[in-house]
Amino acid sequence: MKEVRFGIIGVGGMGSAHIGFIKNIPRVKLVALCDLDKVKVDAAAEKNSAKAYYDGVKMLNSGDIDAVLIATPHYDHTTFAVEAFKAGVHVLTEKPVAVHKADAQKMIDAHKKNKKVLFSAMFQQRTLGIYRKLKQLLDAGEFGEVKRVNWIITNWFRTQRYYDSGGWRATWGGEGGGVLLNQCPHNLDLFQWLFGMPTKVRAFCAMGKYHDIEVEDDVTAYCEFRNGATGVFITSTGDAPGTNRLEITCDRGRVIVENGKILFTRTEQSISKYCKNTDKTFEPPQMWNVEIPYHERDSSPAHQKITENFVDAILDGAELLVRGEEGINSVELGNAMLYSSMKDKTVTMPLDAKAYEVLLKGLIKNSKFKKKTVKTTAVDLKDSFGK
């Protein structure tokens, strides 16, 4: 194969942005577009000389495409990925890979049955130089053992207008959650990518605290890790100004990732050793401040990098930056936070996928929420991707 024949399912805000990104990638031909909205997909197909489909399953089984990018609302990621694996089509799905853990597991199981095709997910923040550098240094043990992780990630401000802009948004039936399912999958993915999965999760999620929605728009979660480290993860779509501050307390000092900088206050020696052995009473060890430099690989947009890597993996066997299977972790974390909050108890990981699915189905069944939807003009998603 010299060129990947690509199809996109869902040509809404994100799908349309992907059309633009794909055009910049060599060795890709965008041949098919699919959406339930006939007018929208006909116009996009004509503009991009692609074939229009109104049924994703038909597109996947048409023989027209080698790879699909799934950019529909979340519940359908599972449906289309499973169908694509059966049809022998490579899958790049938008985040979150699924709404709940059992659905993510279905995708993994379907992929296991056809390993000839690839499975990747759009966690484009993993391509950012700042997080790549942080991961490299954490993995190398440069900061010593991690003791505490605090991430305040509240710069996901959304207005009521945003929530009213799509019938599927911010409902249990349409989206299966709020900030944890829509905005934070990126941060939850980075959280597990950088620090691993916690062993325990206790969370407090407020439903519709700042918006007229039935799902969570404010979350405070406490986590414990295998080595005894603790973590606090705070997010909201109601704060302005928002904060994005990741503070990591380690045995060799403290790392703060904020405002595009990695600031490391390094201790001259291991704090645990110093604490045990020094004859001083109050004085901490000597410290100095370091701003850790990092660079971006190139100036292409982060989403484009993920798709480009996916194409390189298909054509040249390049290693995937994001293996789709890893997407289950951010889903499980988000689910565990919701489960913990609604059951008012600590969740010992791994989360019981079946129990969560039962809870979610109950929320959908018993929902009395009347969704308001307003017609909006197409939005430019550029400002929504998070920093």
Ligand X SMILES: NC(=O)c1ccc[n+]([C@@H]2O[C@H](COP(=O)([O-])OP(=O)(O)OC[C@H]3O[C@@H](n4cnc5c(N)ncnc54)[C@H](O)[C@@H]3O)[C@@H](O)[C@H]2O)c1
For residue 2 the two structure tokens come to 């010299």
When asked if residue 189 is in the footprint of ligand X (CB under 6 A), the reply is no
Residue 301, preceding peptide bond in cis (omega within 30° of 0): no
Query: What residue spans of 88-182 are helical by DSSP H?
Result: 101-112, 129-139, 160-164
When asked if residue 32 is in the footprint of ligand X (CB under 6 A), the reply is no
Output the smallest distance, CB 387 to ligand X, in A: 12
Interacting residue with ligand X among 7, 65, 83, 94 (CB under 6 A): 94
Interacting residue with ligand X among 4, 7, 8, 12 (CB under 6 A): 12
Interacting residue with ligand X among 4, 6, 7, 10 (CB under 6 A): 10
Query: What residue spans of 226-326 are helical by DSSP H?
Result: 271-277, 302-316
When asked if residue 385 is in the footprint of ligand X (CB under 6 A), the reply is yes
H/E element holding 371? none
When asked if residue 11 is in the footprint of ligand X (CB under 6 A), the reply is yes
Output the smallest distance, CB 170 to ligand X, in A: 12
Side chain identity, residue 65: I
Separation in Å, CA 203 to CA 209, 220, 379:
15, 6, 32
Residue 160, number of CB atoms within 10 A of its CB: 14
CA–CA separation, 346 vs 154, rounded Å? Answer: 23
When asked if residue 321 is in the footprint of ligand X (CB under 6 A), the reply is no
Interacting residue with ligand X among 3, 37, 268, 296 (CB under 6 A): 37
Interacting residue with ligand X among 63, 376, 381, 387 (CB under 6 A): 381
Output the smallest distance, CB 189 to ligand X, in A: 10
Q: Which string of x and - marks every residue 154-173 that binds ligand X (by CB under 6 A)?
A: ------------x-------
- DSSP class of 242: -
When asked if residue 71 is in the footprint of ligand X (CB under 6 A), the reply is yes
- Cα 332 to the center of its chain, rounded Å: 12
When asked if residue 56 is in the footprint of ligand X (CB under 6 A), the reply is yes
For residue 304 the two structure tokens come to 């484009």
When asked if residue 371 is in the footprint of ligand X (CB under 6 A), the reply is no
Complex with ligand X: residue 271 or 311, whichever CB lies closer: 311
Task: Please list, in sequence order, all residues whose beta carbon lies within 8 angstroms of the beta carbon of residue 147, skipping any fewer than 6 positions away.
Answer: 228, 229, 230, 249, 250, 251
Scanning 23-31, 70-78, 214-222, 253-261 for contacts with ligand X by CB under 6 A, the matching segment is 70-78
Question: Residues 288, 123: contact at Cβ < 8 Å?
Answer: no
Interacting residue with ligand X among 72, 237, 309, 330 (CB under 6 A): 72
When asked if residue 182 is in the footprint of ligand X (CB under 6 A), the reply is yes
Question: Residues 357, 335: contact at Cβ < 8 Å?
Answer: no
- Which residues bind to ligand X, rule: CB under 6 A? 9-15, 34-37, 40, 56, 71-74, 76, 94-95, 122, 124, 166, 182, 381, 384-385
